[in-house]
Amino acid sequence: MDISPDKTHPDTPHPDTLHDGLRGGYPPWRQRARAPGRPVLAANMRCDVLVVGAGITGSFMAEHLSALGHQVCVLDREQPGLGSTAASTAMLLWEIDASLGKLTQLYGFERAAEIYRHSLRAVSGLKKLVESAELPCGFRARNSLYLAEAGTDPRDLLAEHLLRERADLPGNYLDHRRLLSEFALTREAALLSPGSAEVDPVLLSQALLARAGRQGASLLAGEAVSYEVEGGGVLVGLANGCAVEACKVVLATGYVMPEWLHAPLHAISSTWAIATPPQQPGTLWRDRALIWEAGENYSYARTTTDNRIVIGGEDDSDLTDQAARDGAMAAKTKALLSKLAGLWPTAACRADFQWSGAFGETADGLPLIGAVPGQRHMFAAYGYGGNGITFSYMASRLIGRMIAGAHEDWFEHLAVDRPVPLGA
Ligand SMILES: Cc1cc2nc3c(=O)[nH]c(=O)nc-3n(C[C@H](O)[C@H](O)[C@H](O)COP(=O)(O)OP(=O)(O)OC[C@H]3O[C@@H](n4cnc5c(N)ncnc54)[C@H](O)[C@@H]3O)c2cc1C
């Protein structure tokens, strides 16, 4: 096993993007040859909807709200798509960090099953959008393989499978023999499910922003520093002294939400990932399924269009600042390479790319999407855990409906101020 030094991909997010300590190192993602242009906002302006933040959340939001006919402005203080979005390993799973069994314990079966079905629909909606709009973003439909935690009783996974069947969710249970013969993986059991996908997250974000631009949205450079709810809208103050008057504001600022926005369930942690050199053709696992593991100390793996293996995990809630994350990079890289060697022993186990990022998660594994408590006309979407892209698509549809004045009961399951459930 050998760890190569940090490398910069020629098209990789620039080191000059600070993004408030959101990520470090270099991921293998590409950028569009021409990133969407964004003039500095240098005069006061008005719009229907101001989206603050142009990562994947702001990108889905801008595309969808402009398609609905709103006059949308998207503001980012740094380079769009190069915050946490560039750190994402971009597995588009409909399976949520909290298993259906865990969510059932917290909220009961009906509510848990409903949320899972919405998540499944979100990935299929996202796929339809990418296909119909022909967004160039390395999108590939993939099966997912959810492995039993090493050394645990496979009956736990069978119970999860039976619960998923009851909830009308797709997938099969593979026992040890089938898993070994069909995938050459040595765990006790796994759930093999259709309906997930992978992308290049930077390309997806930039393609969405470009489409939003063609639909009339404006992408602007600027930092929002104050929000004043007044009359029928919100007055947003910028660091350069200008202001935007918006009928609605969507906070899509990822892990740098304004300090006054508190969600009882939310916590920030750190996570690491690496990408190997391109593997020899024919040496990757069957179907290039998205692999992830049950358990606290989980890891996950996918492949890229140029045959690399990306493996991530090693989450640590004690190392949350950038310096500590960077300091742990070598040790975390070594740990991930060792996990890769255990998972797929024939892989060329070297790290061509190594990176880390802040990771917002919630005690119940569900995102925070909806109205900002106590602030009329303001919405927020964050705290996605490992489902950032699936949930940001879902957020754009849900907030689109809320802006239209619609209410559906399940929106409350994701409310920003929902209480911490017993047992979480
Ligand atoms: C290592 C790692 C692996 C991951 N793997 C996956 C995965 O496999 N699948 C998945 O779905 N998710 C994954 N995630 C999670 C996913 O990356 C995030 O949930 C998602 O990218 C968050 O996107 P965002 O747009 O909300 O935030 P960001 O991408 O951080 O965008 C927020 C933007 O807001 C801007 N901003 C902040 N404050 C202001 C302000 N005051 N004014 C103007 N602009 C502002 C920032 O500059 C930034 O560009 C992973 C995360 C990490 C770190």
Q: Specify if 326 maps to a domain.
A: yes
Together in a domain, 213 and 331: no
Together in a domain, 288 and 355: yes
Tell me, in angstroms, the distance from the centre of ligand 1 to residue 56's CA: 7
Residues of the chain by 3-state class (helix, strand, coil), percent to 5 = 30, 30, 40
Q: How close are the terminal C-alpha atoms of the chain, in Å?
A: 38
Together in a domain, 345 and 381: no
Strand pairing report for 233-238 and 224-230: antiparallel
Together in a domain, 392 and 342: no
Atom of ligand 1 nearest to the CA of 356: 1
How big is the CA angle at 223 (ends 320 and 379), to the nearest 5 degrees? 75
Question: Do residues 361 and 370 make contact, with C-beta atoms less than 8 angstroms apart?
Answer: no
Q: Specify if 160 maps to a domain.
A: yes
CA-proximal residue: ligand 1, atom 16 (nearest): 388
CATH number of the domain to which 64 belongs: 3.50.50.60
Distance (Å) of CA 214 to CA 25, 59, 136: 33, 13, 15
Together in a domain, 192 and 150: yes
Ligand 1: residue of 82, 88, 144, 316 to mutate (most ligand atoms within 8 A of CB) is 88
Domain of residue 404, residue span: 38-88+202-264+365-414
Q: Specify if 219 maps to a domain.
A: yes
The domain total for the chain is 2
Q: Specify if 157 maps to a domain.
A: yes
CATH number of the domain to which 183 belongs: 3.30.9.10
- Last residue in a domain, options 345, 362, 379: 362
Q: Specify if 66 maps to a domain.
A: yes
Together in a domain, 299 and 391: no
Together in a domain, 227 and 185: no
Q: Specify if 15 maps to a domain.
A: no
What does the alpha-carbon distance between residue 200 and residue 27 come to, in Å, rounded to a whole number?
10
Q: Specify if 409 maps to a domain.
A: yes
Low-confidence ranges of the chain (pLDDT < 50): 1-18
Task: List all residues whose CB is within 6 A of at least one atom of ligand 1.
Answer: 19, 22, 52-58, 75-78, 83-85, 87-91, 223-224, 252-254, 256, 271, 273, 312, 357, 359, 382, 384, 386-390, 392
Together in a domain, 299 and 192: yes
What is the pLDDT at residue 321? 82
Residue in the block written with tokens 């006061």: 44
Atom of ligand 1 nearest to the CA of 358: 53
Tell me, in angstroms, the distance from the centre of ligand 1 to residue 75's CA: 14
Ligand 1: residue of 389, 391, 392, 396 to mutate (most ligand atoms within 8 A of CB) is 389
Together in a domain, 183 and 305: yes
